[in-house]
Amino acid sequence: MTRPYVLDVSAFQPNATYYDFWQKWKARGVRGAIVKLTESTNWRNTYGAGQIAAAKHEGMQVSGYHFSRFRGNTSLAVAEANYAIANANSMGLPHGSVLVLDYEEKLGYRSSNTQAAIAFLNTVKNAGFVPVFYSYSGMANLWDFEEIHRQTGAMLWIAAYPTMAGVSNPNYNYFPGISNFIGAWQFTDNFYGEHIDASVDLTGVFTTMAQQQKITSGGHLDSVAFDGNGIKVSGWFASDKAQGKQYPYVILTTEDQQHEFDRASVKLRARPDVAKTFPDIPGGGQSGFKTVFPYAKEMVGKKLRVIFRYSDDVNGNGNYTDYTNIIDLTKSAAHLDGINTVVYRNKLRVSGWFATDYSLTEAYPYLILYDVANKREIQRIQATQANRSDVQKAYPDIYNAGLSGLSGEFDYGVNLVGQKLQVIARYSDDEKGGEGNRTDYWFDPFNGPAMPVIDGKTETEVLVHSFNAEEVKNGLISLKFK
């Protein structure tokens, strides 16, 4: 019998975001994808969402894995598990999918390593994912897998390479039979000589199990949007673990959960879409969460954790079950709409918009004209702000996007015509000079536009104190006004 193959990919395979990558491997018998999502509590795969989407598009069953750094530290293991869960949710890993603990550090003690792994895997399991434990066969003395399986139900995904040369199929004479609960064997890191990890799925854990398993817990952060100076969050969370926990809360903390900013008791909202999509999750039809938190200066420039919680305690403590996700408050976006010369005033008029989460604490807008060739600032002006409902609609999750319109006029002479220039939009906490703490957006360089020339037919009347007229060439006259 030919068993299905599974590829595991990470940020080292950015081309795994393309359909044709998976089409090629599908033709070679690959039926599953295991995507590296996270590592420790501070690294995430920036290609992860795209790799998951591409593999799903080509019919692969998709799983995720987390590369651990907690060693034998149980509390850190739980923190890493929550980080992995939040990123799995934000990257689109389906609930009920496998989420692997990748344990490769050859350090620590067998007992503490085992207990930390159990804590990680049970946290993953309680969040609605299928736990799997991965390691190398040569590290079996650093953990007790039979105990891990007994306490979590996790299967073992074991790595053992008979050869480092390129192979196209496993040599079962070298199968590492160290447990009765091995679900998959990673037999090479050089599949078809293309230096990519491949495994053979022995039990369907990576190719059929998720589709057969009932999903009894799930959640999603549907939207994050600013409502004035408030952060409006909405989504859903339902779980079989919520029974007896009648107090729903939304909690906002630092990403590492070491500091809580705020919490709100909420009234659950009807979600018939959840009940229809996940019929096996108890309470799915009444699982909507929604609240608004004040946007405070200590939140600016951070990634925060939002927690949907069911608790048996009126204050949201006690026994509880959580769904977590990440809110990014480091976002910026901008666009330069126009650059025009105003001939009778010798001005360069610029207009556009710049929205940034940092503008809560850096409230003063500036525009800077920059000389690209000489790498120096030419002029700086305070910008005029304007309402931009179009930007608010396009970027509701960026603070103050509705008041992001910026415009201003720089002094502009013939010495700047044709020069390589650049406009910088800035928000600063320095009202008078635009220095201090600041956030900049550098628009694309442009060549200084020529002075406009009247077409010889149009009459224009301007009231001035004085003027100077000078013939320049070919009958053209230069007028300077005061």
Note whether residue 461 is domain-resident.
no
Q: Tell whether 308 and 387 lie within a shared domain.
A: no
Q: Is the pLDDT of residue 270 over 90?
A: yes
What integer pLDDT is reported at residue 333 of this predicted model? 93
Q: Tell whether 10 and 155 lie within a shared domain.
A: yes
In this structure, which amino acid lies at residue 63? S
Burial of 126 (0-12, 13-18, 19+ CB in 10 A): middle
What is the pLDDT confidence band of residue 256, given thresholds at 50, 70 and 90? confident
Tokens of 284: 């799915």
Q: Is the pLDDT of residue 314 over 60?
A: yes
Query: pLDDT by residue (tens digit) across 357-407?
Result: 999 999 999 999 999 999 999 999 999 999 999 999 989 999 999 999 999
Q: Tell whether 113 and 165 lie within a shared domain.
A: yes
Burial of 108 (0-12, 13-18, 19+ CB in 10 A): middle
Domain of 256, in residue numbers: 217-328
Q: Tell whether 369 and 249 lie within a shared domain.
A: no
pTM (predicted TM-score): 0.63
Dihedral angle computed from the Cα positions of residues 109, 101, 191 and 168, in that order, rounded to the nearest 10 degrees: 90
- Rounded mean pLDDT of 17-23? 96
Q: At which of 293, 328, 363 does a domain end?
A: 328
Q: Tell whether 144 and 176 lie within a shared domain.
A: yes
Q: At which of 183, 212, 241 does a domain end?
A: 212
Q: Tell whether 311 and 339 lie within a shared domain.
A: no
Q: Taking Cα atoms as reference points, which of 311, 313, 314, 312 lies closest to residue 322?
A: 311
What is the pLDDT confidence band of residue 212, given thresholds at 50, 70 and 90? very low
Note whether residue 356 is domain-resident.
yes
Note whether residue 464 is domain-resident.
no
d(C-alpha 261, C-alpha 232), whole Å: 14
Instruction: State the angle between helix axes of 110-126 and 74-91 in degrees (0 to 180), rounded to the nearest 10.
Output: 30
CATH of the domain at 260: 2.60.40
Length of the chain: 482
Q: Tell whether 152 and 41 lie within a shared domain.
A: yes
Tell which wins on pLDDT, 273 or 437.
Answer: 437
Q: Tell whether 351 and 418 lie within a shared domain.
A: yes
d(C-alpha 152, C-alpha 154), whole Å: 5
3-state helix, strand, coil in the chain (%, to 5): 25, 40, 35
Note whether residue 477 is domain-resident.
no
Q: Is the pLDDT of residue 94 over 90?
A: no
Tokens of 424: 């910088």
- Rounded mean pLDDT of 284-297? 96
- CA torsion sign, 122 to 127 to 132 to 134? negative
Note whether residue 302 is domain-resident.
yes
Q: Tell whether 315 and 336 lie within a shared domain.
A: no
The DSSP 8-state label assigned to residue 308 in this structure reads E
What's the total number of domains in the chain?
3
Q: At which of 176, 192, 212 does a domain end?
A: 212
What integer pLDDT is reported at residue 71 of this predicted model? 86
Note whether residue 463 is domain-resident.
no
- Mean pLDDT (the chain) is 91
What integer pLDDT is reported at residue 474 of this predicted model? 64
Half-sphere exposure of 162 (CA within 13 A, CB side): 15
Q: Is the pLDDT of residue 36 over 80?
A: yes
Q: Tell whether 384 and 415 lie within a shared domain.
A: yes
Burial of 275 (0-12, 13-18, 19+ CB in 10 A): middle
Note whether residue 337 is domain-resident.
yes
H or E, element range at 39? strand 30-39
Q: Tell whether 301 and 236 lie within a shared domain.
A: yes
- CA torsion sign, 349 to 351 to 356 to 359? positive
What is the pLDDT confidence band of residue 260, given thresholds at 50, 70 and 90? very high
Query: pLDDT by residue (tens digit) across 164-208?
Result: 999 999 999 999 988 889 999 999 999 999 999 999 999 999 998
Q: Identify the residue whose tokens are 């799915």.
A: 284
Q: Taking Cα atoms as reference points, which of 14, 68, 64, 5 lies closest to residue 32?
A: 5
What is the pLDDT confidence band of residue 210, given thresholds at 50, 70 and 90? very low
What integer pLDDT is reported at residue 450 of this predicted model? 83
What integer pLDDT is reported at residue 467 of this predicted model? 76
CATH of the domain at 18: 3.20.20.80
- Rounded mean pLDDT of 447-474? 71
What is the pLDDT confidence band of residue 220, given thresholds at 50, 70 and 90? confident
Query: pLDDT by residue (tens digit) across 113-159?
Result: 999 999 999 999 888 899 999 999 888 889 999 999 988 999 999 99
- Rounded mean pLDDT of 203-218? 74
Q: Is the pLDDT of residue 463 over 90?
A: no
Note whether residue 359 is domain-resident.
yes
3-state secondary structure of 210: helix
What integer pLDDT is reported at residue 216 of this predicted model? 81
H or E, element range at 368? strand 364-371
With pLDDT > 70 as the criterion, what percentage of the chain qualifies?
Answer: 94
Identify the weakest region by mean pLDDT among 114-123, 191-200, 212-221, 439-448: 212-221
Neighbours of 109 (CB within 10 A): 12
What integer pLDDT is reported at residue 208 of this predicted model? 85
Q: Tell whether 35 and 129 lie within a shared domain.
A: yes
Q: Identify the residue whose tokens are 């039926």.
A: 31
